[in-house]
Amino acid sequence: MKVTLLNKTLWKQYFTVLGIIGVITSFVTIFVTIDDKYKLCSGIIFLIFLILVFLYLLYMANHLDRIKLKINGLLINIFYGDIFEAQGLKVIPFNEYFDTVVDNKIIAEKTLNGKFIKKYYSNVNELDTQIETALSDKPFTTNNARALGKKKKYELGTTIEIENEYLLTAFTHFDSKNKAYLSKIEYLLCLDKLWKELNKIYAQRDINIPLLGSGISRIGNNLKLQDYLNIILTSIKLSDLDNAYNTAINIILHESVKNEINLFEIKSKF
C-alpha cells in the first residue's frame, strides 16, 4: 500500500518541516542580504529545494520498514523479518486441535506453523508429547467424528509455552474438511484471550508475533492486511497487557507483504 502525493499525513508532515525551514530562513535573512540580481536565481533554487524536501519525505514514507509505537506504555516494534530469528518468545498460531501433521491437507507447508514444525521437529512425536504435557490442565472437548488429525479440541486463544521459547496458540477453527475459518468477532475475542494468556507467561521476555489471522481466508474477504495490523494494534490498546517488566512486543511482518502494508499510516494513527 503506497503513500501517494495526496496523502494528508504526508502533507501535514511536510508543512511542519516547512515551518522549521521558514524559521531558519527568517533567522538567516536577518544577517544575510541577497543582491537584487541574484534574488530570482535564489528563489528558483529555494523552490527546487522545497520540492526535493517533499520528494524525500514521500520516498521515506514509502520505504519505511520499521516503526516504534507506544501503546498504553507498551513498546511496540513493527518491522519486516523472520520471526524464527527473533530474540524472545515467538507466537505460533495453530488450529484448535493443535494438529502437527504437515501434509498439505491438515497443515500446509507454507503456513507459519507448518514451517515451524518442518524446521524444528523432524520427529513430530516429540512435539506432540510437549504439546500434550503443556495442555494437560487446559479444558477441551472431544470430537470423535473427526476422520483426520487429533480429536481433542481446545478453546480459541488457548496458549501454551514449549522449549521456553515458543508460544503455541489455538487461533482457528477447523471444519470437517480441515479448512481453517474464524468469524470477525471470534478473531477479536481470540486476540483478547491471547493478550491475557501472554500477561501470565511473558515475564521479562520480549514477545514476537506474526500478522495473526492474515492467512485465514475465511475471516472476511473485505479485510486487507492493513486491516489486520490495525485490529491487532487496537486490540493491544484495549487489552490489559501489563508492562511491569518493560519488555517489547514485536510484530514481525513477512517481506512479501511490503506492498500491502503502509507503516507510515500506522505510525500516524497510533
Residues 58 and 70 in one domain: no
Residues 101 and 146 in one domain: yes
222: its cell numbers: 473485505
| Helix (H) or strand (E) segment spanning residue 168 | strand 166-174
How many other β-carbons are positioned within 10 Å of the β-carbon of residue 122? 9
pLDDT, residue 245, reads 62
**pLDDT for the residue numbered 28:** 72
Specify whether 116 is located in the same domain as 47.
no
Co-location of 24 and 158 in the same domain:
no
Mean pLDDT by 10 residues, the chain (270 residues): 80 89 79 70 86 91 91 92 94 95 90 93 93 94 90 94 94 86 90 90 87 76 86 92 76 91 89
| Share of the chain residues as helix, strand and coil, in percent rounded to the nearest 5 | 45, 20, 35
Residue 258 and residue 199 share a domain: yes
Question: Does one domain contain both 32 and 120?
Answer: no
Same domain, 86 and 149: yes
Whether residue 2 lies inside any domain: the answer is: no
Asked if 13 and 138 sit in the same domain, the reply is no
Residue 82, pLDDT score: 95
What per-residue confidence (pLDDT) applies to 221? 66
- CB neighbours of residue 112 within 10 Å: 20
Q: What are phi and psi of 268, to 5 degrees?
A: -75, -25
Same-domain check for residues 17 and 93:
no
Q: How far is CA 106 from CA 88, 92, 190, 234, in A?
A: 28, 16, 21, 31
Question: Is 1 inside a domain boundary?
Answer: no
Domain with 191 in it = 66-269
CA-based radius of gyration for the chain: 24
CA distance 227 to 229: 5
Determine, yes or no, domain membership for 249.
yes
Do residue 125 and residue 242 come from a single domain?
yes
Q: What does the DSSP 8-state code read for residue 108?
A: -
Instruction: Examine the fold and report which residue of 62, 88, 104 is the final residue of a domain before the chain moves on.
Output: 62
The Cα–Cα gap between 227 and 64 comes to 18
Q: Which of 62, 82, 100 is the last residue of a domain?
A: 62
How many independent structural domains does the chain possess? 2
Instruction: Give the C-alpha separation, 265 to 51, whole Å.
Output: 22
Q: What is the pLDDT of residue 234?
A: 95
For residue 230, what is the domain's CATH number? 3.40.220.10
